């Protein structure tokens, strides 16, 4: 691969100019004099054949090309910083690094306790932050991955073929309702599914859910009566109602001891394949690779789900 004939130091100046929109402030930011920054801007203008900064009244504004470059240059600078900060070795016993994992409350309940035990045991000075999912999972997952170490969500929520991933564990959907609900029997038809009112989690994410995508191919669009930003609260919200819920088998526990009963769906829904995703720029980081290895190893040791199919 051949790089364009441009001094890469100018990329640093370009980044400062695009953010500051002022030659003097950009120079102060990167340690250049005002004449030196002006000379760098002149070289950048010749390279791109574009003024980049245009004076409008008393201020400078970015040209359309400069606006397009701003996000790309910022991302490039972040990746360069990670590459140059990469260390050849990582020692979990001495690191005081803070790792950040974004996941749903379902993953936190299933995987969190064992993961915390494994990380604090192997890296006693390290810290672990769990973050809730936000809408960027569906709208801009790559931007979310730049802000964290690992994102754990099921396969099928987005399509990023060049993003490194590791399959962790599988789960499946269980359909349930309150034991006292007489409006539905033990098995639903497609008409029942479409007519029913549902408690649904993370509706923005479920727009891309393989489960609802499978139902949509059959012409079924579930009616959301109650939306909640949680998986672990789903089962409790249908008690005393005629509402239905789809929730994860690993969260279901023993339904024979509770207020719910399982209801069979008319179709088999795709399994839930929880997967760890990482930004490509982190692959040079041995600490990051260690974290992914621990997450993968802990996931492999999880017990199989034992949800009861009691009516």
Predicted structure pTM score: 0.69
Inter-residue contact 128 to 119 (CB < 8 Å)? yes
What band does 213 get if pLDDT is binned at 50, 70 and 90? confident
Most confident of 5-14, 138-147, 270-279: 270-279
As a whole-number percent, the residues of the chain with pLDDT over 90 amount to 36
Query: What is the rounded CA–CA span in Å between residue 93 and residue 288?
Result: 15
Cα(112)–Cα(103) distance, rounded to whole angstroms? 10
When pLDDT is averaged across residues 72-99 and rounded to a whole number, the result is 78
pLDDT class of 310 with cuts at 50, 70, 90: very low
Contact 245, 174 (CB under 8 A): no
Q: What is the mean pLDDT of residues 125-131?
A: 96
* pLDDT on residue 295: 97
pLDDT of residue 244: 93
**pLDDT beyond 90 at 201:** no
Locate tokens 């199989």: which residue? 304
Residue 176 to residue 238: CA distance in whole angstroms: 9
Please choose, from the candidates 162, 161, 166, 157, the residue with its C-alpha nearest in 3D space to the C-alpha of residue 101.
Answer: 166
Contact 109, 230 (CB under 8 A): no
Q: How confident is the model at residue 251 (pLDDT cuts 50, 70, 90)?
A: confident
Place of tokens 């509770």: 258
- Give the 3-state secondary structure of residue 311: coil
Is residue 137 over pLDDT 80? yes
Q: Is pLDDT at 219 greater than 90 in this prediction?
A: no
Instruction: Please say whether the beta carbons of 197 and 223 come within 8 A.
Output: yes
Of the candidates 125, 143, 132, 122, which has an alpha carbon nearest to the alpha carbon of residue 100? Answer: 132
127-136, 212-221, 258-267: least confident range: 212-221
> H helices within 49-183, ranges in order?
64-85, 105-122, 136-139, 141-147
Cα gap 134→34, rounded to integer Å: 42
Question: To 5 degrees, how large is the angle CA 213–CA 197–CA 189?
Answer: 65
Place of tokens 């939306």: 227
pLDDT at 309: 47
Q: Are 150 and 115 in contact (CB under 8 A)?
A: no
Mean pLDDT over the full length of the chain = 85
Question: Which three-class secondary structure state does DSSP give residue 282?
Answer: helix
Q: pLDDT digit string (tens) for 109-120?
A: 999 999 999 999
**Burial of 300 by CB count in 10 Å (0-12 exposed, 13-18 middle, 19+ buried)?**
exposed
Cα–Cα dist 151/54, whole Å: 40
Average pLDDT over residues 160-184: 90
**Per residue in 1-38, pLDDT tens?**
344 555 667 888 888 888 888 888 888 888 888 888 88
Q: What is the mean pLDDT of residues 133-152?
A: 88
């Amino acid at each position: 691969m051949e790089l364009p004939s441009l001094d890469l130091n100018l990329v640093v100046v370009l980044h400062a100019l695009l953010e500051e929109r002022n030659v003097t402030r950009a120079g102060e930011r990167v340690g250049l004099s005002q004449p030196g920054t002006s000379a760098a801007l002149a070289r950048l203008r010749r390279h791109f054949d574009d003024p980049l900064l245009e004076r409008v009244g008393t201020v400078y504004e970015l040209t359309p090309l400069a606006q397009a470059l701003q996000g790309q240059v910022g991302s490039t600078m972040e990746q360069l910083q990670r590459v140059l900060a990469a260390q050849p070795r990582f020692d979990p016993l001495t690191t005081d690094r803070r790792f950040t994992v974004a996941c749903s409350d379902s993953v936190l309940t299933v995987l969190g306790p064992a993961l915390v035990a494994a990380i604090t045991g192997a890296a006693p000075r390290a810290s672990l932050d769990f973050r809730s999912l936000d809408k960027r999972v569906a709208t801009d997952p790559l931007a979310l991955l730049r802000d964290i170490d690992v994102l754990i969500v099921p396969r099928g929520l987005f399509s990023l073929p060049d993003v490194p991933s590791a399959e962790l564990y599988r789960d499946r959907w269980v359909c349930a309702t309150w034991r006292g609900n007489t409006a539905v029997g033990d098995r639903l038809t497609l008409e029942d599914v479409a007519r029913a009112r549902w408690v649904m989690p993370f509706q923005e994410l479920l727009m891309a859910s393989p489960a609802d995508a499978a139902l949509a191919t059959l012409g079924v669009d579930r009616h959301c009566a109650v939306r909640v930003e949680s998986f672990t609260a789903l089962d409790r919200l249908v008690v005393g109602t005629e509402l239905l819920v789809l929730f994860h088998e690993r969260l279901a526990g023993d339904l024979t001891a509770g207020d719910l009963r399982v209801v069979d769906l008319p179709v088999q829904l795709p399994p839930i394949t929880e997967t760890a995703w990482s930004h490509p720029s982190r692959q040079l980081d041995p600490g990051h690779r260690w974290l992914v290895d621990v997450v993968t190893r802990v996931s492999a040791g999880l017990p199989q789900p034992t949800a009861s199919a009691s009516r």
